[in-house]
Structure 1
Amino acid sequence: MPVSAPLERQLRLNRDDFPAKEWVRVDAPEEHDFSADVRAKVDTMLEGMPTTSFMAVAGGRALYTYGDVSEVSYLASTRKSILSMLFGKAVAEGKIDLDLTMADLKIDEDHGLLPIEKTATLRDLLVSSSGVYHQPGSPGSNTKNIPERGSKKPGSYFHYNNWDFNVLGAAFEQLTGRSVFKAFEEDFAGPMGLQDFDPSRQRMMGYEGASRYLAYHFFLSGRDMARLGLAMVRNGRWRDNQIVPADWVAESTRIHVPADRMNESEKSRVAGYSYLWWIPVVTEKTPEWEGAFVAAGHFGQFILGMPALDMVFVNRRAIPDDLAIARNDGSFKEELPAVTMEAFLSVADEFIAAKLGKR
């Protein structure tokens, strides 16, 4: 079913609405069919999950919040999608060539990379298909059915390995001359007016001895994550500032690895993988999901952007700093109850159904 004409008019009117110092709340939630009954159902769903905060944004305004959306904590793998956003400007400016190989960049490990592994390009790493199965320096990888070193041609096989993502951060710094965290502060936090961003909280994390490359971890609040999602929904624009090139937004959120080439266990709502973003399924009955993208992190850190509806959803399962650090074997100090992507999307479905009058 296509998006209705009244909804299309409403979306056109709201596309220039961005939060200023504070988020502005939606004046009339009923215009989005967000009734008291829908609110009560969403409240009940979230209360039954380990979610600590949740935010729904419609037309650039806060439609709904749950918990403390100002609380800052560990983003886990959601960091990877943010790194993808940072890559956009550097690629457009010619500072990063995605066809550069590990050999070109002199990326190596203490015990060496294999010759075939050195042929992996930055583009291969962006789609988690490097063919490098070296142990990563941080937790969060798929530890099941890891291929043998040297057994896969780079670019031919998807395996979710943090080695790829950590090396992307190192390559970004090498080629741009800026740290990941400084680039984030200058390109995103400042221009978008992130309310809770603290440069001193951002840091490298992981365990020593496994790899030369650790993880570039962000510590952000739910409402600041929603600003990042809104910029992506608006084709990389923040007011009059194109903070992420529109071409990169399109390229980095189209499917590069379809679900049938993935070996992930939880992909019932995932159609594929892009440049560090997960892409939800779109069907003839759900055209509103066209162009949607998800950033997903361990324990339940999510950003869902839905350009067709000009909506953003954020879920946080806040993790205390001392638990965000893993043991040397890659396991976390404590495995807390987590929010799955399926559970997160089921909450978003309630808002979407209401907005489209499908309830």
Structure 2
Amino acid sequence: MVFALAVLVLGTAATQADQSVAIADNFPGAAFETTTPEAAGWSAETLAEAKAWSQQLAPTAAVMIVQHGRIVAEWGDTAVKSNLHSIRKSLLSALIGIAVDKHEIDLNATLGSLGIDDNSPGLTETEKAATVVDLLKARSGIYHAALYETPGMAKLRPPRGSHLPGTFWYYNNWDFNALGSIYERATMQSIFTSLDQKIARPIGMQDYQPGDGEYFRGKDSDHPAYPIRMSARDLARFALLYLHDGRWKDRQLVPSAWVRESTQSYSDAFAEIGPGLGYGYLWWIGFPRDMGAPTVNVPAGSYEAIGAEGQYAFVIPAYDLVIVHRVNSDLPHRPEPNFRQMARLLWLVLSAAGDRDAGPDVALAHAAGTRLSGGALTSALSGKTLAVGKWLKGGPFAWQLRADGTMSILAGPARRERWTGTWRVDDRDRFCRTLNETDARELCLVVVANDARLQLFDSDGLMRLDAEVE
């Protein structure tokens, strides 16, 4: 069935912005078609700003922006194959959806019924009660050691037995790796061969081969990870497949019901950094929209695959749009872009397309108001309380800045003291604060006064905090 969704046609003309059309029934052949930003109704100037921002964050990045099935803009080497990192999980989600449709996998099957265990100390009977769908949602409650996880993931892992299956979200490589084992046992085929036969070849991936996948094994767990190498242009085809609800031309490769089910949010993800991000079945839903200051408003129904070191594949059905951002982690590269930095790239791309609802421009270069310096900056801060982060978990927060250079951060409606520290104005006319914590680093921010608010900007020139002065 053709997936049709009424969407706003992005463009600079008001008449275009008010129209609604179905997602274009346009698929790449041997290669993607291209168009110019001007012909597509995009702002070439804002796209150039997006490219400059992208290359500032990751000079080696490969980026593709595809609307109505045609490339509107691209830069970097989109043909080179590199590690997808955790985007591998969204690929597995598609394969599992195909297997569920063929009755090879039962989402409600428990790990115990499937004979899934792990090395010593093995799974408890309670842990074995977790179901396949619990693992897809990262809600298994199984906190056994896992392979191929980042130090941050390992640090956040809850204690064994601390949560019952299905009751708590934790981004858990044990779940994702065990799903790989479940898939291969059920289908009697490797993930990499299945991906080639069921998805890569049917959608005409130009570069992927089964040999681009490998297993990562180790002593911590019996369930290997399954890293996959892929080019940006092949990943764009996969995202386009999902944009079309799992259909490629006249073939329904991934069940449309599965695409819809797997790309809705079942959990708030990383709520401590702010609202807006959710988690489906190995897909991320939405995007953080306020992290102490506005970031970007993505259209309803948007979702993405995310991998470490700056791997992103955004699917934005409302605008018939796919955005792929890849960083070749085999090469020397800068630290991976954070959510705030990626939000800026998203904001620029959406704005270039004519989206008027992406949120405010939070760049220091475009800030309204007066940048404070010297005595005016000290006077604006000393003895004041800054109310910030009303959307953050545990908030709102009140920063009490005392005249003697000490400070307290109070949390929640009851304003209980949570952190203490010191503050100063440095010789570059920035507000700098250091919390009394182990390994705490000084954070310095430019301050702009805008009516009754103080807006604080980080070293990237992005608004970090939008504060009300009490």
Shorter-chain TM band: 0.7 to 0.9
Describe the shift of the 1:178–1:56 C-alpha distance in structure 2 as closer, same or farther (beyond 3 A).
same
The answer for the alignment partner of 2:304 in structure 1 is 294
Using structure 1 for the length normalisation, give the TM-score: 0.87
**1:62 aligned counterpart, secondary structure:** strand
- SS of match in other structure, 1:299: coil
Please list every run of 5 or more consecutive structure 2 residues that lacks an aligned counterpart in the other structure: 1-6, 10-14, 290-295, 362-470
Residue 355 of structure 1 deviates from its aligned partner by 2.1
Q: Does 1:24 align with 2:33?
A: yes
How far does residue 282 in structure 1 lie from its aligned partner after superposition?
9.5
Following TM superposition, by how much is the alpha carbon of 1:153 offset from its aligned partner in structure 2, in angstroms? 0.6
Contact 1:11 1:310 survives alignment (8 Å): no
Correspondence for 1:271: 277
CA RMSD of aligned residues (A): 2.4
Paired AA for residue 124 in structure 1 = D
TM-score by length of 2: 0.67
Give yes or no for the alignment of 1:202 onto 2:210. Answer: no
* Equivalent residues in 2 for 1:1-359, closer than 5 Å: 3=8, 6=16, 11-12=21-22, 15-26=24-35, 28-50=36-58, 51-111=60-120, 112-140=122-150, 142-206=153-217, 208-257=218-267, 259=268, 262-263=269-270, 266=273, 268=274, 270-281=276-287, 289-320=299-330, 337-356=335-354, 358=356
CA gap 1:265/1:213 in 2 versus in 1, 3 angstroms: farther
Q: Give 1:326's aligned residue.
A: none
Distance in structure 1 (CA, Å) of the matches to 2:143 and 2:288: 32
Give, in whole Å, the separation in 1 of the partners of 2:351 and 2:258.
Answer: 30
Deviations 1:19-56 (A, max 9, x none): 10011102x42244323312321121012112521111
Alignment partner of 1:279: what SS? strand
Q: Which is higher, the Rg of structure 1 or of structure 2? A: 2
Supply the AA of the counterpart residue of 1:46.
S
User: Taking structure 1 as reference, are residues 36 and 6 closer, same or farther at Cα in structure 2, changes over 3 Å only?
Assistant: closer
Q: CA deviation at 1:351?
A: 2.2
The residue type paired with residue 194 of structure 2 is A
State the alpha-carbon separation in 1 of the partners of residues 272 and 184 from structure 2.
33
Deviations, residues 245-266 of structure 1 (Å, cap 9, x unaligned): 1100100001111x2xx45655
Q: Distance in 2 between matches of 1:192 and 1:64?
A: 21
Q: Percent of counterpart pairs with the same letter?
A: 34
1:211 CA displacement: 0.2
Tell me: higher relative CO, structure 1 or 2? Use CA pairs within 8 A at least 6 residues apart: 1
Amino acid at match of 1:37: E
Q: How many residue pairs end up in the alignment? A: 338
| Higher percent of residues as helix | 1
The list of structure 1 runs, each at least 4 consecutive aligned residues, that deviate by more than 6 angstroms after superposition, is none
Check conservation: 1:11, 1:59, Cα contact below 8 A.
no
Cα distance between partner residues in 2 of 1:44 and 1:336: 15
| Unaligned residue ranges in structure 1 (runs of 5+) | 324-333
Q: Which residue of 2 aligns with 1:331?
A: none
